[in-house]
A = this chain, B = another copy of it.
């Protein structure tokens, strides 16, 4: 592969002139510039970004560390972040942690060694000694959706409290008294927030949720399926179930399907996170939608700002929105 030296030789100038000519710096005669451009084309020159990065101490690369791209929420995040990164001239390195703190730590180490200019992440746990150390090393970090309290970095997320409260309100108005929730891990911020909002909302409406109606999953499909099976097996099964994310909702819907439960006659159902196919279901599934594209774009924008200007921007909190659909209906036609 041709180097800057080859171009210099071919054009009959020094490497400094080549560098200046190609980077568009001033102080290069028009004639030299043309010769360099022609020579560079002739030898098929492609600047070596590795060498440039070493010299410039910047890689024009960002790291995105998320639990799993297969989760539609993070798929959309990845897409939005990649778009914004690309727009700002950055490449994106992707890592899936599978909610495993050790895998997360390994990814972070790799990203630091690769000297990425910044890291965008959704940590597996609310506490992470390793991440604190990473932050201390000085790489700009922006949290997406979830965050680690002890790390002083901007957070970009959607607040679901209001929307969850609204959902509980609707269910209460529809006459539901046996509310159940399939929660995410309480170690995660979003898991805890959604659970608390649900429980508090219910209590505020005089509908305290019994412990047996609270199932804690791990944000993955299987746990949602299992939780729903357990709920349905209760003597007095709930009349309305709220799943705290889309994967567990998928599992829960499978479990409902398996026993032939009719929505909303037998059970009302709602999910946190909206996905494209919810509205195609019979009945369409009520969901709380996060402004994912905006979140991803904001996160990437903030990160590039920190990287380039060294500023310390504010966190961003957007509102999640309740999207009421047919899967929530009046209680008890079959009870």
Contacts and interface: CB of A to CB of B under 8 A. Distances in A.
Contacts of A109: 46
A63 to B, nearest CB: 9
A107 to B, nearest CB: 8
Contacts of A93: 61, 91-94
A160 interface: no
Interface string A39-58: 00000101111110110000
Contacts of A47: 113
A287 interface: no
A95 interface: yes
Interface in A179-221: 221
Contacts of A50: 50, 53-54, 59, 114-115
Contact of A70 (B76, B113, B250): B76
Contacts of A113: 46-49
A234 interface: no
B53 A82 contact: no
A102 to B, nearest CB: 13
A75 B82 contact: no
Contacts of A279: 254
Given A49-B113, A49-B115, A92 B94 contact: yes
A1 interface: yes
Contacts of A54: 48, 50-51, 54
Copies in the complex: 2
Given A46-B112, A94-B94, A280-B253, A68 B59 contact: no
A14 interface: no
Contacts of A96: 79, 82-83
Tell me which of A82, A93, A277 has the highest count of chain B C-beta atoms within 10 A of its own C-beta: A277
Tell me which of A75, A79, A94 has the highest count of chain B C-beta atoms within 10 A of its own C-beta: A94
Interface in A81-126: 82-83, 86, 91-96, 109-115
A27 interface: no
Contacts of A26: none
7 contacts: A46-B113, A48-B54, A48-B113, A50-B114, A93-B94, A275-B277, A277-B281
Given A48-B54, A61-B114, A254-B279, 9 more contacts: A46-B137, A50-B59, A51-B54, A68-B79, A69-B79, A93-B93, A254-B280, A280-B281, A282-B282
